[in-house]
Amino acid sequence: MRRRLYYVLPDMSSARAMLDELLLARIEERHIRFLAREGSLPGDMPGCSFVLKTDLIHGAQLGAVIGGLVGLVAGIVLALMPPYGLVMQTGAILLLALGGALFGAWASGMNGCAIPNKKLEQYADRVERGQVLMIVDVPVRRVREIEDMIAGRHPDFSFGGEEPPMVAFP
């Protein structure tokens, strides 16, 4: 399990120093991301991915739930009142629910791609002013250690907050 931490750093040199310190603290580079003004992030620093910048994941999750429910209801209705000459099995209910969930996830995911991530909107004005947002996924057992390390070495960095624990995917 990991917890996502957000820090707003004053400039790019501070971001590079934090990257080095987190790497020395044995936080892997794949768990560190930076969001800066368009075109200002150097190529050797890990930037935010498209998935992190947009609402793709949230949209796909919401679409899967709604599509699954609509598919389930449609399957139940078709099983109770089948069209003339068609015999519906109960397995068709599950197939329609699965199909609805897949279609809903795809359709809502496509819409979510066009929407900026709601969690990052609160930092947008600071990023446009030249500050850098650092997003770090830290193991839950090391959250306090990393927060204390950053606060001890850089008391001027503003802590942006943290998200609840998330399951780490392989």
Q: What is the pLDDT of residues 10-36, one digit of tens each?
A: 888 888 888 888 888 898 888 889 988
Q: In sequence order, what are the residues at sequence separation of 6 or more whose Cβ sits closer than 8 angstroms to the Cβ of residue 37?
A: 127, 128, 130
pLDDT at 169 over 50: no
Domains and CATH numbers, the chain: 2-52+118-162 (3.30.70), 56-112 (no CATH)
- Helix extents (H) in 86-141: 91-112, 124-128
Tens digits of residue pLDDT in 81-132: 887 777 778 888 899 999 999 999 999 999 999 888 888 888 888 888 888 8
Global pTM value: 0.72
pLDDT at 75 over 70: yes
Find the mean pLDDT for residues 146-161.
75
Q: Which two tokens stand for residue 23?
A: 């790497």
When pLDDT is cut at 50, 70 and 90, the band that residue 72 belongs to is: very high
Q: What H or E segment, with its residue span, contains residue 68?
A: helix 56-80
pLDDT at 159 over 70: no
- Of 130, 129, 131, 128, nearest to 160 by C-alpha is 131
Residue 150: its pLDDT value, please? 81
**Direct distance between the N- and C-terminal alpha carbons of the chain, in angstroms, rounded to an integer:** 11
